[in-house]
Amino acid sequence: MSHRSFRRFALRAAFAASLSLGLLLPVAQAGAQTVVGKWVAYSEKLDNGEANPFILTLKDDGDNKVSGTLEGLGFSIDVKGTVSGSHFELANPWEKDDKPFLVGDAANGELHFKFWSPEERVGKPFTPADAIKLPEYIAPPAIHPVPYNGLAKTPPMGWNSWNKYQGKITDAIVRQMADVMVSSGMRDAGYVYLNIDDTWEGERDSNGVLQPNHKFPDMKALADYVHSKGLKFGIYSSPGPRTCGGYPGSYGHEEIDAKTWAGWGIDFVKYDWCSAAKIYKDSDLQAMYQKMGAALQASGRKIVYSLCEYGMGDVGKWGPSVGGNMWRTTGDISDEWKSMEKNGFGQNDWAQYAAPGHWNDPDMLEIGNGHMTADEYRTHMSLWAILASPLLAGNDLTAMTPETKSILLNKEVIAIDQDALGKQGTRLSQNVDKNGGIDIWTRPLAGGGMAVGVFNRGGAEAKVSLKASDLKLSGNPKARDLWAHKDVAFKGGAYEASVPMHGVLLLKVGAK
């Protein structure tokens, strides 16, 4: 993934948090037919009390076109767009479509615009006092191996706060999720990590120790509560000076942060590149992730290390050597078919890097968040299991429907994901075009069997015939449908079935 591609995903996360606070985004001054200048807007303050500026700089490119940069505490991204008189539109930097993400008009030395909501925003002229200052540069360390920590011998399972709660996560919600992870059966099904994502951070004290903000009054007590439920506790940071949401990162404080987290009882750290891109090059990824990996190893506590670098820098080649247990291979997922489809079905080339203790991560689960069908969520769960991906739920566990529970708690599918052999599945065959089609994946399992996923990526129900010979099996092998929870029969060396639109046939085949 390119540097630019990474930033679009980091920014999406920051915007999601900021919009919930009523963000006033910056845009530029307009002349008769152009929009140029430097503007600033502030959302409400961060939960740690800090100001949260967003700065847009635009220049005139001629022919009614503009380009520039949009910057926040945790990101910087290139933007471009068009103007017509006092009206301007900026193209969506995250998607290759014609839909603008910011539309507005210049009036009275201000910009009045709408940004992904019907609420009008106002940008004001930038002043030097609004500038976002970067800390003094710290050179990356020399490359050296970090020993394997012995953890995550199967893909980590649990729950993460971001997909559902984003910047609204609190101590009370975490405790509530811990309770429901037990009462719903999720813990007993293997979902044991309860992870806080961004926006927990406060400010550093005189000794450089990062304190949680007012939403988390006692992180050690919260960790103790989570542990009392038989769960493990996770947290989030960045190798940059700021997280995606603009909160303090671990830049220059790696060792003290690792020791602080160990003292709280942290069991999992997600480490998100974000503002590190303002300071370091992509070629520095390994060194900077190594720096925190070494700090975690020296902390005195066993902590699962999750690298969130969006698939940049050939991470599969060096992820294990920095102490990583899992690493992102994609941009951020969203609760829609196209996003899940792109992330999941793009994993074939990553399979060679997966092994016990070290997993490819196409991002968290969206199951139960309401914007995909049940068939699409079953595809989501099945594909992640075939891929030996971490299973980190991201829904409101207190509002799970029976259907959502049946998907997340399907023990036969979970068993595929957690198979001890630790081999990621790969694509067997594909007959897919822009309108969809059939995509077949297989995963070898301990004991000699295999998981087979027949995915219908098309827009209508499809009849499929799965041949034993294509699986390099003879005769009529044993098979079990893991969603129907029943044994099924190959006849004449093939198994035939109907697969719904965006649905899946998930079989365990040839097991002894």
DSSP 370-421: SSS-HHHHHHHHHHHHHTT--EEE-S-GGG--HHHHHHHT-HHHHHHHT-TT
Residue 82 pairs with which residues in a beta bridge? 65, 89
Tokens of 37: 């200048």
Tokens of 189: 């099904």
- Alpha carbon distance 21, 58 (integer Å): 25
Tokens of 209: 């120790």
Residue 83, C-beta contacts closer than 8 angstroms, at least 6 positions apart: 30, 33, 34, 35, 64, 65, 66, 89
Per-residue model confidence (pLDDT) at position 116: 59
- Cα angle value 498/499/501 (rounded, 5°): 130
For residue 312, tell me if it sits in a domain.
yes
The residue from 60, 130, 171, 272 that is catalytic is 272
Look up the CATH number of the domain holding residue 479: 2.60.40.1180
Residue 33, C-beta contacts closer than 8 angstroms, at least 6 positions apart: 64, 83, 84, 85
Domain limit, last residue, from 417, 450, 484 = 417
Tokens of 172: 């009370």
Q: How many domains does the chain have?
A: 3
> Are 216 and 254 within one domain?
yes
> Are 391 and 347 within one domain?
yes
The residue from 198, 257, 332, 375 that is catalytic is 332
Q: For the chain, what percentages of helix, strand and coil (3-state, to nearest 5) are there?
A: 30, 30, 40
Say which amino acid occupies 495.
Y
Count of CA atoms in the C-beta half-sphere (13 A) of 497: 22
Look up the CATH number of the domain holding residue 340: 3.20.20.70
Phi-psi domain of 191 (left: phi exceeds 0; alpha: psi -120 through 50; beta: other)? beta
For residue 139, tell me if it sits in a domain.
no
Tokens of 67: 């380009």
- Count of residues making up the chain: 512
Residue 58 pairs with which residues in a beta bridge? 37, 68
Kindly tell me the burial class for residue 77, based on how many C-beta atoms sit within 10 Å of its own C-beta (0-12, 13-18, 19 or more). buried
> Are 401 and 449 within one domain?
no
- Alpha carbon distance 491, 141 (integer Å): 60
> Are 371 and 454 within one domain?
no
> Are 352 and 435 within one domain?
no
Are residues 349 and 317 in contact, defined by beta-carbon separation less than 8 angstroms?
A: no
For residue 148, tell me if it sits in a domain.
no
Is 108 in a helix, a strand, or coil?
Answer: coil
Domain limit, last residue, from 86, 111, 130 = 130
Tokens of 64: 């009614």
Per-residue model confidence (pLDDT) at position 101: 82
Look up the CATH number of the domain holding residue 29: 2.40.128
Q: Say which DSSP state 129 is in.
A: G
344-365: b (≥16 Cβ within 10 Å) or e: bbebeebbebbeebbbbbbbbb
- Alpha carbon distance 104, 342 (integer Å): 31
- Alpha carbon distance 73, 24 (integer Å): 15
Are residues 445 and 511 in contact, defined by beta-carbon separation less than 8 angstroms?
A: yes
Tokens of 244: 């995606």
User: Dihedral of CA 395/400/402/403: which sign?
Assistant: negative
Are residues 88 and 104 in contact, defined by beta-carbon separation less than 8 angstroms?
A: yes
Per-residue model confidence (pLDDT) at position 189: 98
> Are 400 and 448 within one domain?
no
Of all helices (H) and strands (E), which one includes residue 494?
Answer: strand 494-499
Q: What is the pTM of this model?
A: 0.92
- Alpha carbon distance 201, 487 (integer Å): 50
User: Dihedral of CA 269/274/275/276: which sign?
Assistant: positive
For residue 137, tell me if it sits in a domain.
no
> Are 463 and 491 within one domain?
yes
> Are 262 and 404 within one domain?
yes
For residue 345, tell me if it sits in a domain.
yes
- Alpha carbon distance 153, 325 (integer Å): 9
> Are 445 and 384 within one domain?
no
Q: Confirm whether 272 is a catalytic residue.
A: yes
Per-residue model confidence (pLDDT) at position 107: 81
> Are 347 and 372 within one domain?
yes
Tokens of 25: 């985004």
pLDDT 10s digit of each residue in the chain, 512 long?
A: 333 333 444 444 444 434 333 333 333 333 343 568 898 988 889 999 999 998 988 889 999 998 888 899 999 988 899 988 888 898 877 766 667 888 888 888 887 777 656 767 778 899 999 999 999 999 999 999 999 999 999 999 999 999 999 999 999 999 999 999 999 999 999 999 999 999 999 999 999 999 999 999 999 999 999 999 999 999 999 999 999 999 999 999 999 999 999 999 999 999 999 999 999 999 999 999 999 999 999 999 999 999 999 999 999 999 999 999 999 999 999 999 999 999 999 999 999 999 999 999 999 999 999 999 999 999 999 999 999 999 999 999 999 999 999 999 999 999 999 999 999 999 999 999 888 999 999 999 999 999 999 999 999 999 999 999 999 999 999 999 999 999 999 999 999 999 999 999 999 998 65
Are residues 189 and 414 in contact, defined by beta-carbon separation less than 8 angstroms?
A: yes
Integer Rg of the chain from CA:
24
Residue with tokens 């000076």: 241
For residue 150, tell me if it sits in a domain.
no
Q: Confirm whether 332 is a catalytic residue.
A: yes
For residue 479, tell me if it sits in a domain.
yes
Measured in degrees and rounded to the nearest 5, phi and psi for residue 347 equal: -95, 0
> Are 444 and 410 within one domain?
no
Domain limit, last residue, from 417, 439, 474 = 417
Q: In which domain, by residue range, is 106 found?
A: 3-130
> Are 214 and 276 within one domain?
yes
- Alpha carbon distance 279, 240 (integer Å): 7
Is 51 in a helix, a strand, or coil?
Answer: coil
For residue 70, tell me if it sits in a domain.
yes
Kindly tell me the burial class for residue 35, based on how many C-beta atoms sit within 10 Å of its own C-beta (0-12, 13-18, 19 or more). buried
Per-residue model confidence (pLDDT) at position 19: 37
- Count H helices, E strands: the chain? 12, 27
Tokens of 130: 């609004």
